[in-house]
Structure 1
């Protein structure tokens, strides 16, 4: 029966088939480490092994597509047997009893399950608070010089404009040479955000996509417009990991008849192009 150790890992003994279809099972000690995203098995409990003894086998949890009880056609002579479907390989394991079997199957399915979050379920991007704008300081009025004259027995004060060179000007000088005017003419306000030049997005959201090389399943953010369907690593990315031209799509449909261990997923559909078939899992088709 599996138990949880001090590092919050699920541990216990199981019998694993040495090679697929060989029928020979070996006793091994298993550790389900969700933090390291892997299932490890050892010759014995690592506490009983020599220092530095490593695992004799390992499996990445992202490679697991499904864990289920083995059918009689698969292993008719082995009781309490379950199978792990991972990539193009199947791992047959034998538990000690029915309770042990159910606990391991549930734990492995729970650890390897990939959920498709809703668009708004991700934490919002960090909001940048702009510092308050300091109030503009009041412009000091330039000091004006006056020329005093006595005309017809009356004292007359005539303002005198002073140019940058310190000389007097009869008409106040050229307005373009005033420092405040030069600053106002050279200031060109910039837009706070650049408008989008691409086509409008018709539909977007998170899905789970199968990789082309390693065949692992990863969450990606998809966006559909009138010309392409693109996917990004996350919603905040500006450049897509890949864009598929809609004119290159030959067919798109739900995978009703699933074959092989790779397609044991719900709400799965495929996009078929001349060069590749994309397998995509969504949270629900009722959208």
Structure 2
């Protein structure tokens, strides 16, 4: 689901057909910036990318004429711009509706500027985090739209940082919730995307969804508290949708893609902790106080 960040921008993940007509969709993190008059998309949330990482694509809002939902493509929307049409896929119907409303609201008061712009192109390279492999892009400015087209790409598909596939819970016996989140490392304090699972006994995270063995498992028995991280400093200050899992030995900082994901993880972990520990015990003083109140209300 798209959400509004601290800079009042609409943000979230979508799949985009970056090369028109290719029918190949890539997972990208979109930022709708009405103040900057742009729709930008990145390999991942810029907070999780190297400092200064550039957008994969930028579209000026003034060049968007219409945003529609084609009948023959469920969960898809089409952005009609001056130079081309952009096809995007949403996660679900609610996600699609929110993005269409946000885009139409952002573009309804804009008017495409008259006058042709000279096409300009250049070739640049970017370095991905996955194995330090370099990707070459042809950058063209067509009709005021910056278009980045990959010239080549490594076999094997997506870079790890752009991966937000969600596994089916049904394919993981005993798993109550699963999905990709970003967590802070304990030693280097770097942020990495990991695949998290919650079962009846623990919260675990894996390097990727396909791994059989987790990088770490945190027993529900050891979790003292889980809640939204409201007191922030340093690197945590600019991170949205951040919650913490507190144990006796460490605090795990976990960032989700949307506020709904964050609340869902907190709720489900808290419920499992309660189930795991059983009903709360009442101490002797509390018991005596409750008993005296009952006697006053219902004297024998």
Name the TM tier (shorter chain): 0.3 to 0.5
Structure 2 length-normalised TM = 0.38
Structure 1 length-normalised TM = 0.39
Larger radius of gyration: 1
